[in-house]
Every structure is written in structure tokens, then in C-alpha cells.
Amino acid sequence: MNRPVLLVIAHGSRDPRHAATVQALVRRAGALRPGLRVETAFLDFNLPSVTGVLDRLAAEGIRDVVALPLLLTRAFHAKADVPAVLRQAPASLRIRQAEVLGPSPLLIAAVERRLYEAGLAPGDKSATGVVLASAGSTDPEAIAVIAETARELRRTGWCSVRPAFASASLPRTEDAVRALRAEPGVRRVAVAPYVIAPGRLPDRIAAGAAEADVLADVLGPSPELARLLLARYDGAARAVERVTAAAV
């Protein structure tokens, strides 16, 4: 049986760094799984569009697709935008929407990788406060996931971890930095962007980190994210295969 095609669906951005980073991540995931066909599409701003890729796959005779939202939480895009565009797919395609990336221990590992790459070391944890800065959302479920991710990161040994948001929610990155400065035991403050690719909101996070001691990079094409894409694909692909087998 042919494995379903993996279609990674990113939000898209006017910032060219966004699409370049997404493509680099997808290439890294594909390199980990030779023989798996991986496609990339964008909801907005960038090409190829989701509908364009789905139409092309159907024209090639592809039957099964796993659509993976390149999102860290199940907010509006995962709950509304992605399902809406998938409903426009050709009827010949069987599409399974995979789970979003978060929460996952691999994301915690990716955040720590970026903090270490920015100059910190494991021995710095006990005296370092971390701002886990996400894009932000009005969805209570998404906000709760970010808060729990901050708690999970704290459990790995950092002195303190506070969530922050670039839009839609509070606190802002700069306010979280100042709050950490006032906490007992915090001798340095690091900002860890909990976002996948550069763009307007990550730039806002970086601006809010002006008073921090360390600013980590976005998660980008980290090995952990590449592995997580494949893990989410595998979970959805198994479901596709079970359905297909039952129909035979």
C-alpha cells in the first residue's frame, strides 16, 4: 500500500523569511524519511496554495493525503481555516487532518536547543528566568496549552518560566521580562520565541526582548521539529491505513 502524501500546511506571511524557514523545516523532515512524498502549501500570502496543491495531487491520481497544520496550538486556524480549505479538495482525495504540533516534549527540547545555541548552558538553568513568548491567541484552549508548556519547561530546571504573547493576549514579552527580573533567584533573563518561523509577530517578540540578557532564535528547522512533523504524520497515516483496510 502506498503511504499517504504528507501535506504540510503553513500559515504564510508577507515576510520572505517565513516561507524560506518553513521550506527548510519541511526539507529536513523529508530527509529523515526517504521515500515519503512531502508537499508544502500556505493558507495565505505565499504559494503554492492549499487548493492548488490538492488539485495537483488529485490530477496525478493520488488518493490519500495527510494534511498537517504547521501550528503549535489548536487555535482558530487549526479549528476553522484548515478544515474549511480541506473541504474544497477534489472528491477523489481521502484527506486526514493530523494533530497540530503542540504540546510535545520535542517542542520543549527544541526551545532548550535554541536557548543553548544563544549562549546559555545547562548549568545556567537554576539562575535563569525564561520568557516563553508565543504569537498569541484569543482561543482559551490555545492559551492554556502555552501556559502548560511554560510549566513543563520550568520542570526541566529553569529558575522560572513565564508565558508571554505578541498579540491578542497578555502579558507582552517586555512585561514578562521585567516581572522575571523581580523574582528571587533570577540572575539573568532569556526570551525563547515559541514560534516556528520569522515574521511580524516574532519581530515584535524580539523588540520586547530588548531588556533581556539572551534572545533565542525561532524554532525553525530544528531536528526536534522535523521529528515531530513525522510523528504527527505517522499518527494520522495509521488512521488512514486502518480506514482503507476496513474498506477492502
Q: Quick: pLDDT tens for 192-213.
A: 999 999 999 999 999 999 999 9
Choice between 248 and 140, residue whose per-residue pLDDT is larger: 140
- Structure pTM? 0.94
pLDDT for the residue 245: 57
Q: Quick: pLDDT tens for 76-132.
A: 888 999 999 999 999 999 999 999 999 999 999 999 999 999 999 999 999 999 999
Cell of 239: 488512521
Distance CA 24, CA 98 (A): 20
Distance CA 61, CA 242 (A): 21
Query: What is the chain's Cα-based Rg?
Result: 19
Contacts of 229 (CB under 8 A, 6+ apart): 6, 8, 25, 26, 29, 68, 70, 101
